[in-house]
Structure 1
Amino acid sequence: MAMSGGRDDGEPMMEMNTTPLIDVLLVLLIMFIITIPIQTHAVKVDLPQPDDRNVVTVDPQKNKIAITADGVVTWNGATVDEVTLRQYLDQTAAMSPEPELHFQPDANARYEVVDGILSIIKRSNVTKLGFVGNEQYRNDF
């Protein structure tokens, strides 16, 4: 930066050496970044309150997951979404002794829905899983 390349006429260099200036500016920039206060802010979210009328509990003996032909997933007869299903499965896996889990998909249910629910069950580390209703297909094969 401050060197003149290729001139051998012996004249003094007329350009200012900017290397120390850049070094000082970089140090000041880093100090400025360090001293900036961290911006903290909160976003208020109104979460839904649990409804005591639709309470579905985890049975300590056996629980049943069913999938209807149109892809609706139910836990012990009550419709659930994937997040709620995972919470129920985590509660089930934490119980001692672990209750049985019965899985009963409808014959006309889409494979993607059944496969997605089975993957949720597998990730929850449930060890007592049984397929219910498969006996009706024993003569089909």
Structure 2
Amino acid sequence: MKFGRLERREAPKPMGEINMTPLIDVMLVLLVIFIIAAPLMGSALKLQLPKSDAAAPSPGARFIALAITPEGDYLLGDEKLDPASMRERLTQLAARQPDAELRLSADQSVPYGKVAQLIGWAQKAGLNRIAFVAETGEASTGADGAPAKAPAR
């Protein structure tokens, strides 16, 4: 009777490489999904200004208080300034406190163009940290933009 050989064969070696083909396929499918979904997400964005439930700013930060009244006057702290003086003062403040935060309070009736103009002056002066101040709590408005009436109890 003859027996077979009693030699040991080596076990198969583990693969030292990762098969990248399935990973690439999954990544390409995700890329196509994001390319299709991105325009749809952008059109769904609806902003309703000036509502805000923002967190209160940190009390320890250095800041410059700036306001625009309903009449369109500019206030730096409690000081009323004309546009030329406001630009000059912003430049001076930026030179003294370049890392200070500008806290902008604008009345709801102030046109957006005036607010944007003031932001431009601040950025040109070198104040790039700008915070918008709003009342805390949920402000509700109706479809016409007028304040909504409180529900009857």
Normalised to the residue count of structure 1, the TM-score between the two structures is 0.49
